[in-house]
Amino acid sequence: MFGVEITGLGIYVPSRKITNFDLEKIMDTSDEWIYQRTGIKQRYVVENGISTSDLALAASKIALEEARRKGVKDIDYIILATNSPDYLIPSTSSVLQGKLGISAGTLDVFSGCTGFVYALIVASSLIKSNLSKNVLLVGAEAISKYLDWQDRTVSILLGDGAGAFVLSQTNDKDKGIIDSNVGTDGTLAELIYIPAGGTKKPFDKKSLEEREVYIKMQGREVFKKVVSILPTEIKKLLDKNGLKPNDVDLYIFHQANIRIINTVVETLEIDKSRVYNNIEKYANTSAASIPIAFYEAYMNGLVKPGSIVLFSGFGAGFTWANVLWKI
């Protein structure tokens, strides 16, 4: 049995910053209204002509350079979690592979904002089973392209960005995933979705006119569902592994809404010093939010060898996933 270690990290966000004050000029909202309800102050949004694979490429180059300095020579798989692919066909991981010019298998994980945590489980399983030595794992989103800027309930929440891990095999079997749990409730698929563009309702003139090509979300129902499920699932995972909430050194939650995160933290009585949040700066970057947050926490010295981290994601599907990880 092998362990998994993080040998490279990288993030990238676009240069175009949009503050809440900027949004005040184009919709009926205010900085105070947005911040009190979400914890968001600003977000980064791609310029025209920039796609998800461009953001993924920039973050990947940083992570790969760090990994190469540590002796990683080859990447066996590229796994990319996204909800804003460059194309419906082919996979965005394939596009990324072409831009990187490296020989590797490719796989997209398309599982809402939970996607990066699911992808982390898949990548780690490939390495622990000795089917792969090194995996480039990326969460990347140019999700602003799916926003209806006339709909303040959704457009204020999301931002663009990318985060990348290089995961490598190690003989230290204690490193990497300790345990995980996952779940889905597909009866709630329409809590967060884009009505048109798939095989159920292909793009046409009517769907464009009725603005069905943009993300729709039932925010209150999402909030209620997350805060009812997540604390229970996290406690199950901790109990199974003989851990109490404050035995975990660092919590990295999907950065969806600060009220959701705070509710989960308070329910589990987690010491807030063990939770890293950056939603104020980046908003909800969907599948990119967890790797971006972990990168910053790592760079701020919040973890060290032997630290236990809990990655927790939730989102469209309706999906959720938690991973206990040992650095």
The CB-side HSE value for 236 (13 A sphere, CA atoms) comes to 12
One-letter amino acid of 37? R
Pair 26, 155: CB distance under 8 Å:
no
Q: Residue 22 corresponds to which tokens in the numbers above?
A: 């900027």
One-letter amino acid of 325? W
Q: Residue 142 corresponds to which tokens in the numbers above?
A: 């140019």
What is the Cα gyration radius of the chain?
Answer: 19
H helix or E strand, kind and range, residue 231: helix 219-240
Pair 144, 115: CB distance under 8 Å:
no
The reply to whether 113 belongs to the active site is yes
The single residue of 254, 257, 277, 322 carrying the catalytic annotation is 254
The single residue of 83, 113, 257, 277 carrying the catalytic annotation is 113
The single residue of 20, 134, 257, 284 carrying the catalytic annotation is 284
The reply to whether 254 belongs to the active site is yes
Q: Residue 212 corresponds to which tokens in the numbers above?
A: 């069905």
Give strand ranges (E) for the chain: 3-12, 17-19, 42-44, 77-81, 105-109, 134-141, 161-170, 176-184, 192-193, 216-217, 250-253, 308-315, 319-326
Give strand ranges (E) for 173-279: 176-184, 192-193, 216-217, 250-253
Query: Which residues are catalytic, by number?
Result: 113, 254, 284
